[in-house]
Structure 1
Amino acid sequence: MSFEGKSAIVTGAGKGIGRATVQLLSERGARVVAIARTQSDLDSLKAETGCDVIAADLTDMAEIARTVEEAGTCDYLVNCAGTNVLEPVLDITEEGYDTVLGINLKSALFMSRDFARARVAAGGGGAILNVTSIAGHRGFVEHMCYAASKAGLEGATRVMAKELGPHGIRVNALAPTITMTELAAVAWSDPAKSEPMMVRHPVARFADVEDVARSILAMLSDDMAMTTGAVLPVDGGFLAV
């Protein structure tokens, strides 16, 4: 699957799934614009892959506009920026809500808007891929705001697919299971916590960041030209059983 001659914007590129996506797109020939908050993460990624980098806070509307303008008109947008604040339902805070919804949902919607405007001005075409989560489909303790953000992004994906389809822009979402980023590896290292979740995965493992990145590239590729408005679980069968 070659991406020679293509260009992509990837948010949340400093670590985890976003970083793996930048690495894989670069390996397969794409020009990638990597966006993250932490300059040191971007510097190491640029040295590793040769990608272009932009440090930005995507909860800030002016930063979103600046970022899309600086990135230029690209073929693909991968909305991978995400965070979580663990809070019980009875104790959720406005600060936690604003943090999670601001990064997971608001930034994705307005990045998509500005990316799509540029694509339409260029004659249409291209694709948007929104990274969501199985938490948008199943209830996990202390994940209310996170679940709301991911379920909301899947709903928005369908609306974008409907409205942007006439412009040749495909919009899909991808819902990973627990993915073994550095933070997740620490969070799920306790067998008492991980084993009850593991047994619900028919493949008997959690996802690696490379599993998710490969699926992102598949959804972006022209091989999926008739797929839009879809949510692809990358969950080792979790949602099927």
Structure 2
Amino acid sequence: MNFELQNQRILVTGATSGIGLDIAKALAELGANLVLIGRNRDILAELEQSLGALTLAVDITDEAAVNAAFSEMPALDGLVNCAGISILDDVLDVKAKDLDQIMATNVTASAVVTREAARHMIANGRQGSIVNVSSQAAMAALPGHLGYCASKAAMDAMTRVLCLELGPKGIRVNSVNPTVTLTPMAERAWADPAKRDPMLAAIPLGRFASPREVALPVAFLLSSAASMISGASLPIDGGFTSH
């Protein structure tokens, strides 16, 4: 088995914060050559130095900007769609503009990036792997998460269609579905015991995920060790979706 990604060129979106940043660091440790997309130019500059990555400041909701970025993209072996947003509201307070924004980022933008990456891989004769960072929210109803749940369920559905269409080209496509993952932002958001404790009680392992516990399964799915896995949605949730 080979979990290394030596000399594999992998594009990661949402790479300047949260889970995406930890994925980028883990892939670099495993020898990947990285292309990192984000909107924070200062962090991108730091990652260019620390990880030796090629970095691109791109708003992935801007299709023209995505197309331009791929016009000079080096040959790719993999893609991680990690850019995403969440706007939380109870059903009775949901706003159409918020739903549109969530879907535009989590679904449409990921589909456009995937389209361009797949075209690029095929044109360069590369077979490889695409991993979509979804959520347990795709598999279970969460109060206040209507738009987010819908967007991540759409991402899982997209994963299956991409698996079907890109498999004959030698490109595997999978999703990972994390539970609450303790990025700095999540640590602040879940600090209130009244919010935190009921969620922890619903996770059989009794704890939240660390970013690295999400990053390493992503690396596995990108690697040749997962060469026969495609179309899967992998819960990384401590058992949350088992009941």
Task: Bin the TM-score by the shorter chain.
Answer: over 0.9
**Matched pairs, number:** 241
Partner of 1:49: 51
Give me the identity figure in percent.
39
Partner of 2:197: 195
Question: Would the aligned equivalents of 1:18 and 1:80 in 2 still touch at CA under 8 Å?
Answer: yes
Deviation at 1:124, TM superposition (A): 4.3
Per-residue Cα deviation, 1:156-200 (whole angstroms, up to 9, x for no partner)? 100000011000000000000000111110110011111111012
Choose 210-219 or 94-103, whichever is displaced more: 94-103
Q: TM-score scaled to structure 2, two decimals?
A: 0.96
Q: TM-score scaled to structure 1, two decimals?
A: 0.97
The equivalent position to 2:142 in structure 1, one of 140, 143, 156, is: 140
User: Residue 61 of structure 2 aligns to a residue in which SS?
Assistant: coil
The unaligned stretches of length 5 or more in structure 1 are none
Question: Would the aligned equivalents of 1:218 and 1:224 in 2 still touch at CA under 8 Å?
Answer: yes
Question: Would the aligned equivalents of 1:73 and 1:115 in 2 still touch at CA under 8 Å?
Answer: no
Per-residue Cα deviation, 1:71-96 (whole angstroms, up to 9, x for no partner)? 32210000000111112222222221
The unaligned stretches of length 5 or more in structure 2 are none
User: Residue 150 of structure 1 aligns to a residue in which SS?
Assistant: helix
Question: Would the aligned equivalents of 2:77 and 2:126 in 1 still touch at CA under 8 Å?
Answer: no
The equivalent position to 1:162 in structure 2, one of 145, 161, 164, is: 164
Question: Would the aligned equivalents of 1:9 and 1:34 in 2 still touch at CA under 8 Å?
Answer: yes
Q: Quick one: distance in 2 between partners of 1:83 and 1:45?
A: 22
Partner of 1:176: 178
Partner of 2:152: 150
Bigger relative contact order, structure 1 or 2 (CA pairs below 8 A, ≥6 apart):
2
Is 1:73 the counterpart of 2:72 in the alignment? no
Q: Quick one: distance in 2 between partners of 1:67 and 1:218?
A: 27
Deviation at 1:48, TM superposition (A): 2.1
Q: CA RMSD in A?
A: 1.1
Partner of 2:222: 220
Question: Would the aligned equivalents of 1:19 and 1:45 in 2 still touch at CA under 8 Å?
Answer: no
User: Residue 231 of structure 2 aligns to a residue in which SS?
Assistant: coil
Q: Quick one: distance in 1 between partners of 2:163 and 2:122?
A: 14
The equivalent position to 1:109 in structure 2, one of 97, 108, 111, is: 111
